[in-house]
Chains A and B, each alone.
Chain A
């Protein structure tokens, strides 16, 4: 103990100066300091740069062969076969349902469809009915293709020439 410190103790705390400092009674678990160092290193070690060995350069053909070989390993092949089988089965089932539905619709006549719609008219909204050809029809486009303005003028001229009045015309129609 340093002389200065011992004098301080003797002067100010004689009881304390008589006590041993070496046997404090503190203990630590076995290998505590070694473990602390290891634990701490795990926490603070700088992020190590993982040096990966450069893979030898191979051609694309070798790469493809390697991939195929990998896929043809018994376990991989079995897994691939199972997946392929599932996809194939799914495709067949879906396709069969679709065909059945198409066939059933193909057998329906226009009259059957109309009958069904008229019987269940409440289930269809107006827009759907218009799309299906029920309700208001737009003849403007059809008229436009059937008659030109000149055709109408010619017809009127002819009526005048033949002295055919509207009542006579109605009889013909």
Chain B
């Protein structure tokens, strides 16, 4: 996980407001959030090429709309919300395409994971990723934000625009599904 940014969100926004300091603001935002958002998107879509496409769209949207950001929420929350929404939209499209495809083998999660040249997991991680990939898109986002990003429920509620209660239920349910998937694999391998 990336370190906390040394520059505050307010400072970044202030730099981006002025034409003279816009480039500095751009670099500050990228430095603070580029990697964090990339890894969030990558965990959502798994494949590097897809993650690259999605993250480009995310940042283009961010910088085109940064002046509309009114500061009602934290910049950090706003960025995660855009990244999550873009990832979910992408996954929906990809899944729709895979469902329409006659070649079932190509559409399997395992194939997508192993086809990525930038993915070199150990056996346990491959199983975990395969387990997470079985979750519905929104539950996958909840799981990733809590499990990998260790985000507080309150922040997650702002990112995903839902209640803390609904998030807790979704996360616990997701945990159970992943745990069951892993147990089944362990059981079958014995």
Report which A residues bind B (CB closer than 8 A).
1-2, 5, 8-9, 12-16, 19, 21, 23-29, 33, 36-37, 39-41, 43-46
Among B42, B129, B179, point to the contact of A15 (Cβ < 8 A). Answer: B179
B89 at the binding interface (Cβ < 8 Å): no
Whether the pair A46, B22 counts as a contact (CB closer than 8 A) is yes
Number of A-B contacts (CB under 8 A): 94
B105 at interface (Cβ–Cβ under 8 A)? no
Closest to A18 in B: B124
- Given the complex, which residues of B lie within 8 Å of A41, measured CB to CB? 23, 26
B127 closest partner in A (C-beta): A19
**Inter-chain contacts of B154 with A (CB < 8 A):** none
Chain A residue numbers with a CB within 8 Å of B34 are 33, 36-37
Q: Which residues of B contact A45 (CB under 8 A)?
A: 23, 26
A15 near B30 with CB under 8 A, answer: no
Chain A residues contacting B175 (CB-CB under 8 Å) are 8-9, 12-13, 16
With A21-B147, A41-B23, A45-B23 in contact, do A12 and B179 touch (Cβ < 8 Å)? Answer: yes
User: Does B176 interact with chain A (Cβ within 8 Å)?
Assistant: yes
What are 29 sample pairs from A and B whose C-beta atoms fall under 8 A apart? Answer: A5-B147, A5-B150, A8-B175, A13-B179, A15-B183, A15-B186, A16-B128, A16-B178, A23-B122, A23-B125, A24-B43, A24-B121, A25-B121, A25-B126, A26-B39, A26-B119, A26-B121, A27-B118, A27-B119, A27-B120, A28-B38, A28-B48, A28-B118, A29-B118, A33-B34, A33-B35, A33-B38, A36-B56, A44-B64
